[in-house]
Amino acid sequence: MPFAALDLHKKIVDAVLLDEHGAPAWCGRFPATRAALENFARAHLSPQYRVALEATTHTWAVVAILEPFVAEVVVSNPLRTRAIAAAKIKTDRVDALVLAQLLRSDFLPRVWQPDPQTRHLRSVSTERANLVADQTRLKNRIHAVLHQRLIEPPAGDLFQPASRRWLAQLELDPLGRHTLDRHLRQLARLQEELTALTDQLAVQAHADPRTRLLMTLPGIDFPVAQTLLAALGDVDRFPNADRAAAYLGLVPSTRQSAEHCYHGRITKQGNSHARWMLVQAAQSLARHPGPLGVFFRRLQKKKNRNVAVVATARKLVTVAWHMLRANEPYRYAQPATDLRGAVQQHGRVKRPGHRGRSPRRELRPGGGVLHLVFQGPRSQVGARDRSRDRRAIRHDRAFHRRQNANRGRRTGHRPQDAEPAGEGGLLAARLRHRSPRPQRRPRVARRLD
């Protein structure tokens, strides 16, 4: 079977062909365009060829062009191709030749090739992340315009409607006024694009059962769920949940030699955007009443908050892997906290807001509205797991009650010290569950005659 390898660059491609015995049959260079790649495939490749190339920015576009002409296209991981990275003589032609020889020897470390749906989800998620980064950059520039002129912005969010009107009426020098107006116009246009793309992702989340499944996890909204699905792809390719966490770089690094073993910080390999989104989702679990919140607070008490956040992010990946493999929702989901927004069929995201009151606990059936709330099947939850989690939740609530009681003692505020209102003692009747402590009798020293 003949082999071929391509060393891809932004503008050029170096190609090497090997015959059945491993001898170079052809080598050349051509532009990195669609027409040049198709001409190369028609002139030099056949259905018996296996082609190797390294993962880079436009790898999957090249793979889509070459797949109809060859038997297999193998994409290698450049971080693990040590024969190329550690070579003393390194040229484009030598790199392509080494790729072809590694493929012929079956020593080439390959990467998983995502399906077209996963590629599209990765592209859309990356585009949304870029828009959010551009929005943050523009907001920082607006803050810089005010800071350079020693202008104190109003309290609160600078980009709410009231603060926007304050920015529009602010008296500045001509250059500062022109710069601020330009940034505000760019920000308004960018937010329109971000809203349109978010609505598109919401429609896709409505149609994807896996996204709705992951949204039962606390702290996981549909952008986080879609980013995680785009990074993992097919979860069946991971034999266990630890491999999925290692794929996202959320496992500690290990240095071991003889009897010495050192575990350091997380590896931070894999998709950095998915890892960042999971860390941000784990930040919201500090006060969650479920098992994940108990795990967060217990680890925060032993270590510190940063360690607890990263460990909880890894726990989210572990739970998500089990949910996707078993096709089950999160067993301890809470409808009031896990419902981040009702995704309507026409693509708009309706976020229920409430002023001064907690969200409603019951589910309201609405026409054409998707309520992303699941109730875990109790028959599949072991009695031992349920009792253990109930004990953990009771212990955590008791801990917070003790903290509140200690805070009340320090401030001197006690309900039993209040005077009863009226003749009937209405306030005392309301606080009868907190009856005052009995007064201790003073000790009297007995006289020994």
Q: How far is CA 259 from CA 254, 255, 264, 266, in A?
A: 13, 11, 16, 22
> Phi then psi for 261, rounded to 5 degrees?
-145, 130
Average confidence (pLDDT) over 363-377? 36
Instruction: Identify the CA nearest to 318 among candidates 211, 214, 206, 210.
Output: 214
Is 60 exceeded by the pLDDT of residue 28?
yes
Q: Would you tell me the crossing angle of helices 305-326 and 222-232 to the nearest 10 degrees?
A: 70
List, for residues 51-66, the tens digit of each pLDDT value.
Answer: 999 999 999 999 999 9
List, for residues 29-83, the tens digit of each pLDDT value.
Answer: 999 999 999 999 999 999 999 999 999 999 999 999 999 999 999 999 888 887 6
**DSSP secondary structure code for residue 7 in this structure:** E
| CA–CA separation, 125 and 118 (whole Å) | 10
Concatenated DSSP letters of 187-247: HHHHHHHHHHHHHHHHHHHHH-HHHHHHTTSTT--HHHHHHHHHHH--GGGSSSHHHHHHH
| CA–CA separation, 405 and 408 (whole Å) | 5
Q: Which residue has the higher pLDDT, 88 or 221?
A: 221
Confidence at residue 11, expressed as pLDDT on a 0 to 100 scale = 93
> Phi then psi for 5, rounded to 5 degrees?
-145, 145
| CA–CA separation, 8 and 238 (whole Å) | 29
Q: Would you tell me the crossing angle of helices 305-326 and 272-283 to the nearest 10 degrees?
A: 110
Contact 344, 350 (CB under 8 A): yes
Confidence at residue 21, expressed as pLDDT on a 0 to 100 scale = 87
Contact 12, 37 (CB under 8 A): no
| CA–CA separation, 52 and 3 (whole Å) | 8
For β-strands 50-54 and 72-76, DSSP reports them as parallel
Average confidence (pLDDT) over 278-303? 92
List, for residues 259-268, the tens digit of each pLDDT value.
Answer: 889 988 999 9
| CA–CA separation, 340 and 349 (whole Å) | 10
List, for residues 163-222, the tens digit of each pLDDT value.
Answer: 999 999 999 999 999 999 999 999 999 999 999 999 999 999 989 999 999 999 999 999
> Phi then psi for 404, rounded to 5 degrees?
-65, -40
| CA–CA separation, 13 and 142 (whole Å) | 43
| CB neighbours of residue 424 within 10 Å | 9
pTM confidence score: 0.72
Confidence at residue 326, expressed as pLDDT on a 0 to 100 scale = 93
SS (H, E, C) 38-104: HHHHHHHCCCCCEEEEECCCCHHHHHHHHHHHCCEEEEECHHHCHHHHCCCCCCHHHHHHHHHHHHH
Q: Give the 3-state secondary structure of residue 331.
A: coil
Instruction: Identify the CA nearest to 74 among candidates 107, 46, 120, 32.
Output: 107
| CA–CA separation, 290 and 309 (whole Å) | 16
Contact 335, 361 (CB under 8 A): yes
Q: Which amino acid is at 37?
A: L
List, for residues 95-144, the tens digit of each pLDDT value.
Answer: 899 899 999 988 898 899 999 999 999 999 999 999 999 999 999 999 99
